[in-house]
Structures are given as structure tokens and as C-alpha cells.
Amino acid sequence: MSLSISPDERLVAGEEREGGPPTSTLAVGEYEREASASRFARLSRATFVGGIVLTGVLFAAGAWQRRWIADDGLIVLRTVRNLLAGNGPVFNAGERVETNTSAAWTYVVWFFSWLTQARLEYVVLAVALVLSVLAVVFAMLGSARLWGGASAGQLLLPAGALVYIAVPPARDYASSGLENCLVIFWLGVLWYLLMRWSQAGKPGLPSYFGLVFWAGLSWLVRPEMTILGGLALLLVFCAPMPDSLRYSWLPARVRPLVIRALLVAIGGAVPVGYQIWRMGYYGLPYPNTAVAKEASGAKWAQGFTYLWDLVGPYFLWLPMLVLAMIAIYLARRSGRKHAGVTRDERGGTGRLGRLQRRLRTPGAVVTLMLFAGLLLVLFNIRVGGDFMHGRMLLPQLFILLLPVAVLPIRLPGGARSDSGDERTGRARWARWSFAVPLVAWVATAGWALIVSGTVANTSGSQLSATGIVDERIYYVLNSGHDHPILSEDYLDYPRMRAMVQAIENTPDGGLLINSPSFTMWYVAPPPLPIPEGGAGHTVYFLNLGMTSMNVPLSVRVIDQEGLAYPLAAHTDRLVDGRIGHDKNLYPDWVLVDMGMVDRHPWMPWFMDEKWVIQARTALGCPATQDLLASYRAPLTVQRFKSNIIQSLDFAKYRIERVPKYEIQRCKLVDPIPPPVPN
């Protein structure tokens, strides 16, 4: 007797028709659930990718609409010009002074300028815009990893990323020629690499080495970013080493030590190598800008003023509070176990071992980023902030928003449990996990829409009482250009055309000093005999960028604050001076230092011959002469070694800006006798 099954019986048993869906009740239900999950997964991926594209486009469009290059951005280009001309990474040929805080940014601009041979202003504008947009992209990719990625169960919508790009200073400094773009790009990539490292089951050596190398660049990106880079290196170093990184041919006891030694070597190779070179070449352990700005000083009250200047007008605390609360809510209610990834690592035993294993988790990375971000906020408050509205707090804002760069919106779905109570509880949680984040996201997006058109700092072309100014608007109004980008755009800034004209009218050379009323230039002539071709020009003025980019490299440009003039940088900070401008070296020093005629009627009328004579004596202080030689003397092997040895002492050295007091400090003999009492 043969057994046979009819076609109808096959359908009842759940077999599928060839080329079609299942037809039984159970099979149809399973098929529909799988199809629905597939559709939701495609929707989630499309939403996530669309959110990244939309955020990037909005940021690029907003930055382009406010495109400009700051005067400080042009300072970087002067150094790049000298690099391309073969004069080295200097601001003035023959003087080894590091005027750019970010060494990495200088060389990035130099590389793309050398590669493209395009005009420097266009190169820096393009590079800045690209890096700024990529920074937001990496921030969102890392945040997506934190929340489990785009899947059938949730949508990932841009949230913290929208907050960042909505703040007007973020769009201002996306194209300013300053290093903000590089800083947030480095932060975004570091965040992504840390999240990938924390979730990888078996990370390979390239992943480890790439992460520590990138973290080690912090010192070159901006010195204060070493707070974050150093903590990231410490986290990776202390976390347990996976078995996949253990060399079997090494003795078991030394395998972890070898890997960690390699991590230290790779993470420290570039910053340590550059640091040795910096100390020998420039004679300082950090950029000269840190000396001029007194980065080790404290101005707490001004720092809190600067913080509120950014947070208060935009009500920035509101979206950050909402997103923080939602993130905590989702993390606690979801019960997501990030450590569920299969790992091949072994930590120690006991409580210490458990703590060590927790270091390579997304939660540890988030804690690290938030802790470092708050430390950087505290550091910025301590030094007094900055004079540019919002600029120096943008990296900190970017860091604090990284975990919520995207926000997960959990899609509601039924539970598969047979328990009615459990299924009801899960359904209720699903509804809340969808509704609450969605409301928070709508509120955040609405805030971003309103704030994006806000003008918080209304000082315009004048300085506010706090000394903080909207830098872009200030130069737009004072130059008369909606988008001051090219160096010649700044010729319309007051006194710039007069400076160029004064140089053209004095072929013998001289020292250009702006008058006390800032309306005209005085030229102190060089002494006779004038060499063939002239003795060269030196411009002594506050705005280094526009000044230096509108004159040939043969013209020395220095400033009273000391960014490009170490003699001024090593004066003491003025009490209650404007933040970032609280040093001011009298021109008497410069007249003597540059070797110009120092007698009336040839020198400017407002200068005192007695002060000039005293400045000549004060300039002869042996310690001051050592400082000047550190960056002016020919760079020999002996000079390089001497600079390394003395760099810390040079960093701490300060002089009195009043020549008479400097003579007393250095225990010199005052050439001007005291007045005889009657």
C-alpha cells in the first residue's frame, strides 16, 4: 500500500507553493512577521542614512552661508606661506616662533596647499568645511553604535548633532580658517574608534594601534585636548588585552607587557617626537600662543561670564537637559547589555578583574567622554574663556553631545511571551519608549529651528563690556565685506591700506607703529648708512593675520600681545585686561630691538627718549638676551640641545613691561639718574 499526500494536504501541513508565500496559518504569520521586520529594518537604515545626509547638508549649507576667514585664521596662512617658501614653520623668516596653537592644523593646511597649489584662502576654506561636516558624520556613526545601530526595532534620528549645528558659532567656526574644524573632526573620529573598540569581540592589532595612534595626536591637535587623548590612552592601556593580541611565541608572563609597550610606543611616537623637536627648534615646551595668552593663569569670573555668553542667550541648557534625561531613561529601561559581545579576553580575578573587564564597554567610553568634556569646560572657565563668542567652548559642547548625536526611537511591537501580564508590560514599555523619545526629539528639533536664526551677541562692530565679541560680524562690519575670505578683503579694514601705502613710500625701510589714536602710521627710520635695497620693514600691530597676509614675507610683522613676538609674550599679564588681549608691550622696546633711530624728531612724537634709553639698558638683561637667542640665533646642534635644556625656564620667564621696573628686576644700572630733590 503506497502512501500519498494530496496537494491540499500539503498546504495544510505548511508547505509553500513554489515561488510564493506560505499558505498555512502558522507559516503565514511567521512570514508576515519576517516581512514586516525586513521592511522596518530597511526603513530604519534609510532613516539613519537620511538623517546623516540631511544633517551634513544643513551644516554645510549653514557654514557656507556664513563663510569667512578670521584674522587669526590668516595667521596660520602666513606660517604656511613661509613653509612653502622654504623658511620653515615660522611666522617671520629668521625667527623661530610658533604662532599657531594647533601644530597639526598648520601641517594639514600646508599639505593640501602643496598638493593642490591653489590659493591658500580657498584651500583652508575647503578643508575646514569638509572636516567640519565629516566630524558630525563620525559623531552620528559612533552614537549609532552606542544605541545598537539601525535595526528593525528602532529609528535613529539626529538629535545632539542638530543641537550642535544649530548654535550659530558652530557654523561660524566651521569655515573660519581656525583649527576648530580639525579639533571636532579628531573628536568625532576618536569617539567612533572608541565605540568600535569597546564593542568588538576580537579586535585586531590594526584596530588597537589605529586607536592609540589617533588618541596620541591630541597634543598636536590642541594642547588641552591631551586631557581627553591621555584618558583614552589610559583606558585602552588598562583594559584587558584580548587573546587574539597575545603572541603565542612569547612567554606567557611578558605577552601583555609587550602589547602594552607597543601601544605606548605607537601612541606616543608622534607627539613625543614632535615635542622634542619643538623644544629644540622653538625653545619652548608648548606653542608661543600659550605664553602670550597665559594658559596657566586663572580668571574664573571671566570664565563663567564666557560660559554664560554661550549657554544663556541660546537657552542651550534646555536641549542638553532634555537629551540627557532621555538618554538616561532609555539606558535604564532598556536594560541593554553592551558587554554581551563574545570576547576572547581575560582580566584579573575578583573585584579588580571585574572592574578591568568593564573598561572595554560602551558605558566606560561614554563615561570617559563626558568626564573629559566637563574637565575641558572647567579648564576653559579657569583660563577666562576667550574673546571670541562661543569659539573655545565648541569642542566641549561637541563632546558632551556625542552620546546623543542620534536618538533611538524604539518602534512599538508586540511581545512573543505567552504570559499576558508580561506581554502587557512589554507593550506598555514599547509605547512609552516610542512616545517619550519622539516628543523629546520633536522638542529638540524645534529648539534647533528657532535658535539657528538667533543673534545672541549684539556687540556688532564694537566691543562689548565683557570683551567678548561676535568675531565674524565684527570683521564683516569693519571690512565692509559679507564674506571676508581673501587677504585683500581685509584691506578695507581701517588702517590696512594706509599701512601698505606707508611701506611703499619708505623704500629705505623702517618700523611702522600705529598712532595712539589708531588713525595713521608713524615710520621710525633705520640708522645710516642704509644698505642697498633698504633695511627692511617691521610692522608692529595688533591684527597679525590681515597685516602679515597683505605684505611680502620679507616684511617682519610682530604684535604687542606677543603671539609672534616673544619679547611681548613674556611680559606679565595686565590686571583686568581684555581676555586674550591682556598683554601690551610698549613700542619703546621694539624701537631699540629693531635697531631704529631712537631720537626725536625721527622717532614718533609720542615716544619718550628716556624710556627708549631705559629700554635699551633693560634689553641687555642676560636672561632676556638668552631668550632672544633661543629663537633668533642660528640653529646649530648646540643651540638645539641648549633650547631643549632651557625650554622650561624660558616658558616661565617674565619681564616687566615698564623699562625702569625691568632694570630694577634684573638688577641693572639705570642710565637715567633719579631727580635731585630740591
Which string of DSSP letters, residue by residue, matches 162-188?
HHHHHSHHHHHTTSSSSTHHHHHHHHH
94 shares its domain with 224 = yes
Q: Beta strand pairing status for 537-540 and 521-524?
A: unpaired
- pLDDT tens per residue across span 140-173: 999 999 998 777 578 899 999 999 999 999 999 9
The answer to whether the beta carbons of residues 479 and 493 sit under 8 Å apart is yes
163 shares its domain with 270 = yes
| Inside any domain, residue 5 | no
393 shares its domain with 502 = no
444 shares its domain with 513 = no
- pLDDT tens per residue across span 247-284: 555 666 666 777 788 888 999 999 999 999 999 999 99
Least confident piece of the model among 166-175, 204-213, 367-376: 204-213
Q: Beta strand pairing status for 510-514 and 406-410?
A: unpaired
Q: What mean pLDDT do residues 511-525 have? A: 85
| Inside any domain, residue 466 | no
| Inside any domain, residue 660 | yes
380 shares its domain with 243 = yes
437 shares its domain with 551 = no
| Inside any domain, residue 111 | yes
| Inside any domain, residue 2 | no
Domain count within the chain: 2
* Angle formed at CA 39 by CA 36 and CA 44, multiple of 5 degrees: 125
444 shares its domain with 506 = no
441 shares its domain with 507 = no
Q: What share of the chain is helix, strand, coil (3-state, %, to 5)?
A: 60, 5, 35
Residue 298: its H or E element: none
pTM assigned to the model: 0.90
- pLDDT tens per residue across span 440-461: 899 999 999 999 888 877 777 7
Euclidean distance between CA atoms 149 and 156, whole angstroms: 8
Q: What share of the chain in percent tops pLDDT 70?
A: 85
| Inside any domain, residue 225 | yes
- pLDDT tens per residue across span 60-83: 999 999 999 999 999 999 999 999
| Inside any domain, residue 286 | yes
393 shares its domain with 537 = no
Residue 625 confidence (pLDDT) above 50: yes
> Residue 13: its pLDDT value, please?
41
441 shares its domain with 526 = no
| Inside any domain, residue 458 | no
Residue 92 confidence (pLDDT) above 50: yes
Q: Look up the domain containing 257 and give its range.
A: 32-338+354-411+429-452
By CB atoms closer than 10 A (0-12, 13-18, 19+), residue 453 is exposed
434 shares its domain with 512 = no
By CB atoms closer than 10 A (0-12, 13-18, 19+), residue 525 is middle
437 shares its domain with 510 = no
The answer to whether the beta carbons of residues 541 and 559 sit under 8 Å apart is yes
